[in-house]
Amino acid sequence: MLKLNVYPKNDIIIKLILGIVFLISGYSYSQNDTIPYIELVGFAEKDFEPDIIIISFELGDYNYETKTETSLDEQEIQVIKILSNYNIDKSKLTFDNFGKSRKYYKNHTETHNTKWYLLEVPNISSMMNVFDQLSGLNLRTFQVDNLKSSKISQLKNELYKNAIQNAVSKGNTILGEVNKRVGDVIFITDVNTSYDFDPVKFDNSSKREIVVNGFTGAKDITIGNVRIKYKIVTKFKVLNIK
């Protein structure tokens, strides 16, 4: 006896759709799997002159030279006046609360307080002017914390473009030997942004402290350019040269 399987109309449509989907999926995978590509690493670097200098300094309520005490509140008032004298907005001064504020002890009986501050200045001239004035207070430590650029976003965009151009140029050089060239990009991945070296030099050393534990250290201070580096990983299609 001949037996026929009869499927509802909807089932037939669903099976047809699934079959088409599988065919398309297999075809797309096969096509992508055979596309020749090249992976490249692109580099770019640029020097910039920092226009933001972050300094940190520590004030204490006890002066070891004069053997006198001055409250930190009184000294903070003097700090604000110093900033005003050099047209530095007081908003550029913040309390550095990353565990630096501390109490220290004298002869295990007397307790003295210190307090750390962060200050943003535009150049080394402003930094040294502030330092000279702070030296009249109970300055315990004075150091450079960081160097930045107000145009860092613009710089990074330039580096990003240059890194891509570097990758494409290398790819074309390599593929040109086999009569091929770089085609459309498949993906681009940022790897990192890094700073190549520390341009702050005190007495030709890499120390950043001008004053340590109340004693003046280095005096010959220079701040050079900062070199920023950028790296990307890319994948491009490989095309024949016509």
Listed in sequence order, the residues at least 6 apart from 84 whose beta carbon sits closer than 8 Å to its beta carbon are 90
Residue 116 has pLDDT above 70, yes or no: yes
Question: pLDDT (tens digit, 9 = 90+) per residue, 163-210?
Answer: 999 999 999 999 999 999 999 999 998 876 665 444 444 333 344 556
- CATH fold, domain 37-51+150-242, is Translation Initiation Factor IF3 (3.30.110)
> Can you tell me the distance from the alpha carbon of 134 to that of 142, in angstroms, rounded to the nearest whole number?
9
- Give percent helix, percent strand, percent coil of the chain, each to the nearest 5: 35, 40, 25
Cβ atoms of residues 194 and 156 within 8 Å: no
Question: pLDDT (tens digit, 9 = 90+) per residue, 202-212?
Answer: 333 344 556 55
Copy the structure tokens of residue 241.
């040269």
Token look-up 């200050």 returns 119
Q: How far apart are the two ends of the chain, measured CA to CA in Å?
A: 65
What is the pLDDT, as a whole number, of residue 87?
94
Which residues partner with 190 through β-bridges?
Answer: 232
> Can you tell me the distance from the alpha carbon of 98 to that of 59, in angstroms, rounded to the nearest whole number?
15
Mean pLDDT across the chain, nearest whole number?
Answer: 76
Integer CA distances (angstroms), 97 to 26, 41, 88, 102, 104, in order: 60, 41, 21, 10, 17
CATH code of the domain made up of 52-148:
3.30.70.120
Angle at 238 between CA 233 and CA 240, to 5 degrees: 155
Same fold, 37-51+150-242 and 52-148: no
Copy the structure tokens of residue 213.
């534990």
> Can you tell me the distance from the alpha carbon of 188 to that of 39, in angstroms, rounded to the nearest whole number?
10
Listed in sequence order, the residues at least 6 apart from 231 whose beta carbon sits closer than 8 Å to its beta carbon are 41, 42, 43, 163, 190, 191, 192, 193, 194
For the chain, the domains span 37-51+150-242, 52-148
